[in-house]
Structure 1
Amino acid sequence: MTVADTNQHYDLDPEVFGQFLDPLRKYSSALYATPDESLADAQVNKLRFVAECLRLRGGERLLDIGCGWGALILFMAREYRCETLGVSPAPRQHDYIARRAQELGVADLVRTRVGHFERLDLAPRGMDAVSMLGSIVHMPDLDEVFRRTRAVLRKGGMLYVSESCFRNAAAHAAFDARVGTDFVRNDIFGWGDMRPLSELVAGAERAGFSITAVEDLTDHYRRTIEDWLRNVAAAEERLEAHEPGLTAKLTHYLEVANAGWGYTTKHYALVCRNAR
């Protein structure tokens, strides 16, 4: 099982994502502190939550696998002065991140590399922390990902993974081949597999990680997608100017993604430590 050299969804024009994401263009679950909190504030909450899970205090070396539009690495560089490295196979994301790093005055702290993490040559034990927010779903070889992640972490380094998961193996088997799942996997992403949480835990443990925390973020992701759907609807005219039919395609994708939360699918944060 292989993945494409780039991902057709993430390599869309950056301005498409600017129409429905928060100002940081963070493309994963937010963390809402109050019933009426805005998407923008909730995404900042989530980034601070990740920083706490990774035990960032300032100046750490951080690798973000599947860095998207750079929300996490730019935030950690600006707020925590971390030396950050983002990895993504989508070239447009790297151009955007470089421009934003210059604008924010953190170009000296932010680097990116184009490619798949599984294929990159990275220095052993060179990182204090590693994050994967919604990216491990696009990596077919789970054991190789966790093995390589642990290899780049120093002793005592932390790993944060947040991912959408089928709620158990039976749901995975029952829904994996359905039309909606196939649409998201192939028409949107190119490849993806929402494994049960148990498989992620087992993969981390086989690689030698110690599990320190598991958080259920399902309700937060459901609400995040509802905010994205409202933004897509509000930006219909601008989205159609980019590509006719894009509004309907994004809406269908987000509705499919949101339909099963709490029933067939969940969203978890998994925190691990490289204890030895």
Structure 2
Amino acid sequence: MSVDSVTADSVSGPGAIADTNQHYDLDPDIFGQFLDPLRKYSAGRYLSEHDTLEQAQRNKLRFVADRLGLRGGERLLDIGCGWGSLILYMAAELRCETLGVSPAPRQHGYIAEQAAARGVADLVRTRVGHFERLDLPARGFDAVTMLGSIVHMPDLDEVFRRARAVLRRDGRLYVSESCFRNAAIRARFDDRAGTDFVRDDIFGWGDLRPLSDLVTAAENAGFSMISVDDLTEDYHRTIEDWIANVEANAATIDAHGAGTAQRLRRYLEIANAGWGYTTKHYALVCRNGR
């Protein structure tokens, strides 16, 4: 597989795009201690009370493939590819030609190793950088995915416009994201101490919006809506499993820095505290109809 890079200017402040996100550039081993073996860092999909975290994450990847209408051999772009769980899965299971984009350099080396180990190096490529700044082929993809990444992108209109530009006609976009329940809730809770801790101390920057903001930006870009799924309960259970893994592996996590496990647990507990009251988690699917 190939890893390409693009240089992004380091900037700061509200709405700015930094070179990378401080949380995702932690040592890869930390994530291996609390995520599932695929290192998928977003909501799973629990189909029974007995599903393990790994089963839930595999269920979710199949769910994404179904929502996108993938049958095999498609060209897929994953924006904010993380540790590569989605592109590695779609390459291995459906022989999709995949491209993952992420500004976090450490993630790309891990994906390259995994692609080689799984025999899909010919189907998996990554690029280091921000989607908003990359030069990508017009209508070059059959499907585009953003799982938990749009929260770190300041300009919704630009993101959806560019996503539509790289999709072929009738191609689909899948976006899953945590959202404030509505604009009034956002106004009340956006500057609370817990929100500030997660946004600034953990990630460096992020902007939780209501679902209506995502839909408006998608429609303004020319997309038509296909479906919206409420995955709030799935994400709540996913984070409960992550917290259990943090507790079980706290000593190993803290070997990377004293207090790392405690900070990680605090972040996860804050994220789980508001489900259904202040926040929801949705999967939005759009079609490029023209």
TM range (shorter): over 0.9
Aligned equivalent of 1:86:
100
**Residue 139 in structure 1 maps to residue 162 in structure 2:** no
CA apart distance, 1:50: 0.1
Structure 1 residues 123-134: aligned runs within 5 Å: 123-134=137-148
In the alignment, structure 1 segments of 5+ residues that lack a partner are none
Separation of aligned partners in 2, 1:83 and 1:237 = 39
d(CA) in 2 for partners of 1:262, 1:221: 11
Distance 2:51 2:165 in 1: 39
Q: Classify the secondary structure of the residue corresponding to 2:229.
A: strand
Query: Separation in 1 of the partners of 2:17 and 2:248?
Result: 33
CA distance in 2, matches of 1:116, 1:40: 29
List runs of 5+ in structure 2 lacking aligned partners. 1-14
Post-superposition Cα deviations, 1:19-65, rounded to whole Å, max 9, x if no partner, equal 00000000000000001210000000000000001110000000000
Alignment of structure 1 residues 215-226 onto 2, 5 Å: 215-226=229-240
Match of 1:118 in 2: 132
Query: Map of 1:241-260 to 2, 5 A cutoff?
Result: 241-260=255-274
Q: Does 1:6 align with 2:20?
A: yes
Aligned equivalents of 1:203 and 1:122: distance in 2? 21
Listed one character per residue, the Cα deviations across residues 92-147 of structure 1 (whole Å, up to 9, x for unaligned) are 00000000000000000000000010010100000000000000000000000000
Q: Secondary structure at the match of 1:52?
A: helix
Matched, 1:105 2:119: yes
Aligned to 1:194: 208
Task: Determine the structure 2 residue equivalent to 1:236.
Answer: 250
Partner Cα distance (2:257, 2:80) in 1: 25
Instruction: State TM-score, norm by structure 2.
Output: 0.95
1:267 aligns with 281
- Map 1:20-31; keep pairs closer than 5 Å: 20-31=34-45
Query: Are positions 1:155 and 2:169 aligned together?
Result: yes
The match for 1:210 is: 224
Q: Using the alignment, how far apart are the partners of 2:121 and 2:95 within structure 1?
A: 11
- 2:70 and 2:257 mapped to 1: Cα distance? 40
Give distance in 2, aligned partners of 1:260 and 1:208.
32
Between the aligned partners of 1:216 and 1:3, the Cα distance in structure 2 is 29
- Structure 2 counterpart of 1:50: 64
CA-to-partner distance for each residue in 1:208-262, whole Å, 9 max, x for gaps? 0000000000000000000000000000110111111001000000001000000
* TM-score, reference length from structure 1: 0.99
Root-mean-square deviation (CA, aligned residues, Å) is: 0.4
How far is 1:3 from its partner?
2.3
SS at match of 1:33: coil
Structure 2 residue 54 is the aligned partner of structure 1 residue 65: no
| Distance in structure 1 (CA, Å) of the matches to 2:127 and 2:106 | 12
Query: How many Å separate the matches in 2 of 1:26 and 1:249?
Result: 20
Q: Conserved in 2, the CA contact under 8 Å of 1:3 and 1:190?
A: no
Letter in 1 for 2:77: L
Amino acid at match of 1:131: T
What residue number does 2:4 align with?
none
Question: Secondary structure of the residue that 2:100 maps to in structure 1?
Answer: strand
Runs ≥4 residues deviating over 4 A: none
